[in-house]
Structure 1
Amino acid sequence: MARPDDPDDDAALRWDDVDDASYDLGPAPGGEAEAAPAESGEATASAGGAAGKRGRSALLAATSVFGGIYLMYAVGWIIGVAQLPLSGTDLLQEVTYQFAEFLAIIAAPMWFVASVVLSRGRGAVHRLGWLALGTLVLVPWPFLLGVVR
């Protein structure tokens, strides 16, 4: 049984053991990642690298915004098709109608995934163009028309 004043009792609750080998702070500021370039060509390359990082961050942010929009579209399709009455007189018509509803619900997430995967090696304009086109094509009309009424 451990004593209450034992210093090792709270060792699991502290994160200040910097001597631990698994404790990694990453590269030090001004260390290897920001080494001074020897030539002027390297200086422009590092400046271009910083601009590239900002561009990738902006692309990631824009892609995330579109991902949120597509997620809201999927929820809109779920709500919209739940409001529609089933239209079918026999079993085959009901099954195909429900399958079409399922395809409408997953169309927005699938468009997002396909746009991101298929535009991986291309420019940001290409990816954002396809994502913007999807926001126009995949609007959840049953939800929007149900809200307008």
Structure 2
Amino acid sequence: MATEPEEPNPGATPADPKRDASADAAKPDATRRFDPVVPDADADDSTVRLGHPADEEALRWDGDDPTERLVPAGSTVPARGKRGGGAASGSALLIIYGAFGGIFLLMTIGWIATALRYEPTTDDPLGGFMQRVSTLLAIASPGMWFGIAFWLTRGRPPWQRIVWLVLGMLLVAPWPLITGSLG
């Protein structure tokens, strides 16, 4: 049973064993044939180099800067070497923000306790409605301050966010409960 020789792929280039062996020998280990995507040794971890120069060229436009990084619109990227302290400062900030979140949650619980102990002082329907609305706003104020402080200080240094959170702790604390001056 004889088999017919396979027809070459019409789109493929004929293989030259001498050329392929010499080309593979000249390449570093990480970029030899059959490595579709390999990290570039000279770049950071986010840059990859494709196995063949033609593949790399197909992914570029004229005028592209290979060192350019994509960033979301409206955000600022610090210059190299001027970033925060890395993982250690990120972990410390996460702990600090968590502590503030817990304090603001306790303040919300304090406002709920204040609202449950408070007795309305007016028989006027409009006055009673306004007292209920102000009580609901007082209960929501710690959470709103925490969220708005994070939203308005995004993209700014962490110390500014911390200052706004400390200021919020003083302004939206359940002072009637703290001082014991419930009606």
Q: Same fold (TM over 0.5)?
A: yes
Contact 1:71-1:109 within 8 A present in 2 as well: yes
Which residue type is aligned with residue 144 of structure 1? I
Q: 2:178 aligns with which of 124, 131, 144?
A: 144
C-alpha offsets along residues 45-87 of structure 1, whole Å, 9 cap, x if unaligned? x998793221111111111100000000000000012111112
Contact 1:80-1:141 within 8 A present in 2 as well: no
Confirm whether residue 92 of structure 1 aligns to residue 126 of structure 2: yes
Confirm whether residue 112 of structure 1 aligns to residue 146 of structure 2: yes
Give me the identity figure in percent.
Answer: 33
Alignment: residue pair count: 108
Q: Secondary structure at the match of 1:92?
A: helix
Q: Secondary structure at the match of 2:86?
A: helix
More helix by share: 1
Q: 1:68 aligns with which of 86, 102, 115?
A: 102
Q: Secondary structure at the match of 1:86?
A: coil
The offset of 1:145, in angstroms, is 2.7
Taking a change above 3 Å as real, the CA distance of residues 49 and 137 of structure 1, as seen in their structure-2 partners, is closer
The alignment's TM-score, normalised by the length of structure 2, stands at 0.52
> Structure 1: which 5+ runs fail to align?
1-36, 39-45
- 1:114-129 to 2 correspondence within 5 Å? 114-129=148-163
Taking a change above 3 Å as real, the CA distance of residues 104 and 47 of structure 1, as seen in their structure-2 partners, is same
Aligned-residue RMSD, C-alpha = 2.9
C-alpha offsets along residues 106-132 of structure 1, whole Å, 9 cap, x if unaligned? 000000000111111000100000001
Taking a change above 3 Å as real, the CA distance of residues 91 and 115 of structure 1, as seen in their structure-2 partners, is same
Which residue type is aligned with residue 65 of structure 1? A
Aligned to 1:32: none
Whole-angstrom CA distance in 1 between matches of 2:158 and 2:99: 14
The offset of 1:146, in angstroms, is 3.0
Q: Secondary structure at the match of 1:51?
A: coil
